[in-house]
């Protein structure tokens, strides 16, 4: 069969079932776990997959009454879709209120990601938060895949990777960003949720958010620079590190607003921040990431 043959069309439920299987790491004993390959995956492993599987591995070693409150990950090498991913968890601390875990992800004996995660037993405390931005409701916006298809038709280009079905439904507030190639302010707002319902287990919802948090974030630091673009083929990019702070409970199968900005870029790197809100205005997570944004000459 030709590699250009169209992929089978899956229902939202099938897409999410595949995602849940991907994030359900296999316990190999001795705090060792194995993450499955993505079905139909080709080339480089999506960074959100490695983070989600690493978090799922760490959470297997922590009591249920201590949810993760932060993780910090460094991408060491790009993962390969041809292989499963092995995870080794080190139990650095189990204190009165906090637990800490180190996770090393590897393929074929080579490290591809290092992650630290901290878990906190729930306790009461004071509260404040940054207000949720005023943006259109997700029900009034179009799906990202529809917008990308329209953009590809408008500019006469094909974005095969970006037109594939995804288990995460995304609805950008600025639909024109897939067509415009001009410089603009480094701020974006995107609604997202799983494409179908998820089980009630909070660990699954945290893993799905970790998976989705690597989407759209890196692109924010490219927005002020019209001379570098994936659309134009003038950009080489890769996530270098990724951090998430989990503040409160949420469901990843209900609409979440991902508000991203980039306060700095330079020396072939771009720094990005993200805030994740529920529809009832609760700030439930913060994200930060630095990535490689190297200008390149487009291929003829």
Terminal-residue alpha carbon distance, the chain: 28
CB neighbour class for 69 (10 Å; exposed up to 12, middle 13-18, buried from 19): middle
Helix (H/G/I), strand (E/B), else coil: 259: strand
Reply yes or no on whether 108 is catalytic.
no
What string of H, E and C letters represents the secondary structure of 39-108?
CCCCCECCHHHHHHHHHHHHHCCCCCCCCEEEEEEEECCCCECCCCEEEEEEEEEECCCEEEEEEEEEEC
Out of 99, 118, 213, 239, the active site residue is 239
The CA distances from residue 110 to 18, 85, 104, 143, in Å, are 26, 10, 10, 38
Reply yes or no on whether 97 is catalytic.
no
Out of 53, 118, 213, 289, the active site residue is 289
**Which one, of 190, 167, 187, 186, lies nearest residue 277 by Cα?**
190
Residue 51 to residue 62: CA distance in whole angstroms: 17
Strands 68-75 and 168-172: unpaired
Determine contact, residues 51/85, Cβ cutoff 8 Å: no
DSSP 37: P
Reply yes or no on whether 129 is catalytic.
no
Out of 214, 237, 253, 262, the active site residue is 214
Residue 177 to residue 161: CA distance in whole angstroms: 17
- Give catalytic residues, as residue numbers: 214, 239, 289
């Amino acid at each position: 069969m030709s590699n250009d043959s169209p992929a089978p069309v899956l229902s939202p439920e099938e897409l999410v079932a595949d995602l849940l299987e991907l994030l359900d790491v296999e316990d190999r004993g001795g705090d060792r776990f194995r993450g499955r390959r993505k079905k139909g995956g080709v080339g480089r492993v999506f960074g959100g997959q490695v983070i989600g599987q690493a978090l799922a591995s760490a959470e297997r070693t922590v009591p249920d009454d201590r949810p993760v409150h932060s993780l910090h990950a460094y991408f060491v090498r790009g993962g390969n879709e041809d292989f499963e991913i092995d995870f080794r968890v080190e139990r650095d601390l189990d204190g009165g209120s906090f637990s800490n875990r180190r996770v090393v992800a590897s393929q074929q004996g080579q490290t591809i990601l290092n992650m630290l995660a901290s878990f906190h037993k729930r306790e009461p405390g004071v509260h404040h938060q940054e207000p949720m931005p005023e943006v259109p409701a997700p029900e009034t916006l179009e799906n990202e895949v529809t917008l990308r298809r329209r953009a590809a038709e408008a500019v006469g280009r094909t974005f095969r990777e970006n037109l594939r079905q995804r288990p995460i439904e995304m609805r950008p507030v600025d639909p024109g960003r897939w067509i415009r190639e001009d410089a603009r302010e480094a701020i974006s707002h995107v609604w997202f949720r799983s494409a179908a319902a998820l089980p009630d287990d909070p660990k699954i919802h945290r893993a799905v958010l970790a998976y989705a948090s690597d989407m759209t974030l890196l692109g924010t630091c490219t927005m002020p620079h019209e001379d570098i673009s994936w659309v134009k083929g003038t950009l080489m990019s890769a996530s270098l590190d990724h951090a998430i702070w989990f503040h409160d409970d949420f469901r990843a199968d209900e609409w979440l607003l991902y508000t991203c900005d980039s306060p700095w870029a330079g020396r072939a790197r771009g720094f990005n921040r993200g805030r994740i809100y529920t529809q009832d205005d609760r700030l439930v997570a913060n994200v930060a990431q630095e990535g490689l944004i190297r200008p390149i000459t487009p291929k003829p």
